[in-house]
Amino acid sequence: MTGSMAHPAVLILLGPPGAGKGTQARMLEEDFGLVQLSTGDLLRAAVAAGTDAGKRAKAVMEAGQLVSDEIVLAILKDRMAAPDVAKGVILDGFPRTAGQAAALDALLAANGQRVTAAISLEVDDEAMVGRVSGRYTCAGCGEGYHDEFKRPAKAGVCDKCGGEGMKRRADDNAETVRERLKAYHAQTAPLITYYEGKGLLQRIDAMGSIAGIRAALSDIVKGVAA
């Protein structure tokens, strides 16, 4: 839908860990042909590959703190240079600091672009600890599951691709989630005000069903990027 636009959409999903940014970004990929760009995924790939950036990021991520802007921006710029980004992007987990938001504005401005919209997924913190602690994903296709809220039809087998490898993130435990929530409120939540000031903010109540949130997001994306 956005593939041929001169200025591809740049959508930002804001929200604490567990708000559903990754799940919803994957759905926006399916529904609108946009590309999900998750700095968390890029960092986990760097850790797994043992790159210099990955080595520097690993302990910070395991502690639930934010990786330095320098590392994150280098990884993001690299990814933004790939050709598929021309389809339009959903930024999931980026920007997370005022410095990253300013750097994103500058990066886009250099190409005559700007942020299309920032969508804040609004949730209760306490519920997030339970949501994040029980989650896991298919190692093959990335489909997300949860011990309580979304089990596969057959235990251990992915509904989507039939894969049998499931994985849990090292930082998805109650203690680290609380640190990640603190980092969110201290460093990322101020970006809600930043984008509100630019007239780019949309808020969604993200305590409801995955399908309901998907529908609300679709309406927003149709309004700004279709």
128 with 75: CB under 8 angstroms?
Answer: no
Residue 169 among the catalytic residues: yes
135 has catalytic annotation: yes
Catalytic residue among 79, 135, 150, 222: 135
Per-residue string for binding with ligand AMP, 130-169, x by CB under 6 A?
A: ----------------------------------------
Rg for the chain (alpha carbons), in Å? Answer: 17
> How far is it, in rounded angstroms, from Cα 170 to Cα 62?
7
Nearer to ligand AMP, 36 or 100 (CB): 100
Q: Residue 166 in contact with residue 173, Cβ under 8 Å?
A: no
User: Does the protein bind ligand AMP through residue 47 (CB under 6 A)?
Assistant: no
Q: Cα-flanking dihedrals φ and ψ of residue 181, to 5°?
A: -65, -40
Among 27, 47, 53, 61, binds ligand AMP (CB under 6 A): 61
CB of 122 to ligand AMP, least distance (A): 17
Q: At what angle do helices 190-197 and 98-109 cross, to 10 degrees?
A: 40
182 is catalytic: no
The helix/strand/coil state of 161 is: coil
Taking CB under 6 A as the rule, does residue 189 contact ligand AMP? no
In whole angstroms, the minimum distance from the beta carbon of 2 to ligand AMP comes to: 23
Catalytic residue status for 21: yes
Residue 119 sits in the site that holds ligand AMP (CB under 6 A): no
Separation CA 24–CA 18 (nearest Å): 11
CA-CA-CA-CA torsion sign (17, 23, 26, 30)? negative
* CB of 13 closer than 8 Å to CB of 119: yes
Tell the smallest beta-carbon distance from residue 219 to ligand AMP (Å).
24
CB of 96 to ligand AMP, least distance (A): 4
Residue 114 is a catalytic residue: no
Q: Residues 26, 58, 87, 96: which is the catalytic one?
A: 96
Catalytic positions are 21, 96, 135, 169, 180
